[in-house]
Structure 1
Amino acid sequence: MPRPAEAGPEAAHELPPAPAGADAAPSPQVVDQVAVARLYGEPLFRMPQDLYIPPDALEVFLEAFEGPLDLLLYLIRKQNFNILDIPLASVTRQYLDYVDQIRRHNLELASEYLLMAAMLIEIKSRMLLPPKKTADGAEPEDPRAELVRRLVEYEQIKLGAAQLDALPQLGRDFLRAQVHIEQSLAPRWPEVNADDLRQAWREILQRAKLNQHHTISREQLSVREHMSIVLRRLQGRRFVEFEELFDTTRGVPVLVVTFIAMLELSKERLLEVTQAEAFAPIYVRLAYTPT
């Protein structure tokens, strides 16, 4: 008869005490050797000849059940009984034999199975009594109907769990392949930090102050005109330093208009402002549009 895995007693780990009056052999002086066991804190380097192993120290379980419904379903399926027409007398007898065996080893575990045994006996006793018709004259429900519903639902869940477990699982049945693909061989320049751009603009203003003129004049400046000037200066050149686009000899107004023109071109994606790394020189070039 199969038995649950929880019912088995643990094997003894301690050796019996040495018989009284026996001559205690001195502990061997063994170097670089691992003791096979310890007796009262003393290491043993070889197995004693009078080692006693209790008969119930080892038990073999052919089947393990998750609970009373699992055991009941096992008994029904093993003997090919119709789950809709369970022969309760035979099944209850086998069930009680099983419960009687596990009760000898684990009373706490057997209590859960005893509850199902009491339910089986109650259903059998109700089947032996003459059926009572309901108030509306209909036939009474089979006493086994509720138990059958529980068994059918449990079997469906158990089969579903087995199907899910049979599906391939990552880490158990297969591993995810990892392949590194180089997306692009062209270097990707880091984006220019706004603080670096402001600092470069401050340096240009400081240089412009060194070449100030005191002549007061009014000059009409066009942003579109300076946008064209910047584009012409970038034609045919791969990179131009940020400072080279500004003519510091013409005063601050021209520098401001040139800077605004460069920002407009960048906004319209006609030029790119790049920087190789932090604190490196800032370069400007015409925007490259792949065809």
Structure 2
Amino acid sequence: MKIKIEKFEGPLDLLLELIEQQKLDICEVALAEVTDQYLEIISQQEFSPNELADFLVVASRLLLIKSKTLLPMLDLTEEEEAEIKDLENAMQEYRRYKNQAKIVKEILANKSRIFTRELWQGREPVFSPPKRLDLESLVEAFKKLSLSLEKFLLPKVSGYLERVVSVEERIKEIILKIESRAVLSFNTLAGGSMKKIDVIINFLAVLFLFREKNIMLSQAKDFGEIKIMKLHQP
């Protein structure tokens, strides 16, 4: 299914557009389903470093979700499970925000039909703070507001970016390796690395090459070693 999205205001906005265009509910299965489209769209865009960081944080979580769907035997840590849940919750909250914004926009568009009293016409608006309000109270109120908003914001990207690996780069690496060998073991792709993100990226890269009919796969038994062979085109 080809999805075309020309404008979006951030990673959550793009993700919501992809989900709603396919009329899906916000859940792990839906997020896994739109992962490829999300990655394809952001790979075609130009972002500032800060913007790119936000998109990559969401990309790393989507890769976790898709890998969990494709590899049921993959054990995620509590932190990774929490990251997935956080993304779901953020999407639910963002959808509510978008719906409310739509309602407000409709109200403003129909303001010509709304009749109000003209009691304040001609009077300049003024700010009338409570008598007990001081600088310390304002600072405290601002702190509370900031804390209440934190749960709706994406987490800091420190620690996440180092986990985001380019699937495209890994695909090229696998193609080069398979050119020089008759058979390649999936376990050797990461070069001895046992990091979960490397296993995930390798699996997605192999899955892509298999889907594009560039390689053949064989497995002697369930959960056994996966052998990768080059598929010679006729």
* TM beyond 0.5: no
> What TM-score comes out, normalization by structure 2 length?
0.38
Greater relative contact order (CA < 8 Å, ≥ 6 in sequence): 2
> What TM-score comes out, normalization by structure 1 length?
0.32
Structure with the larger helix share: 2
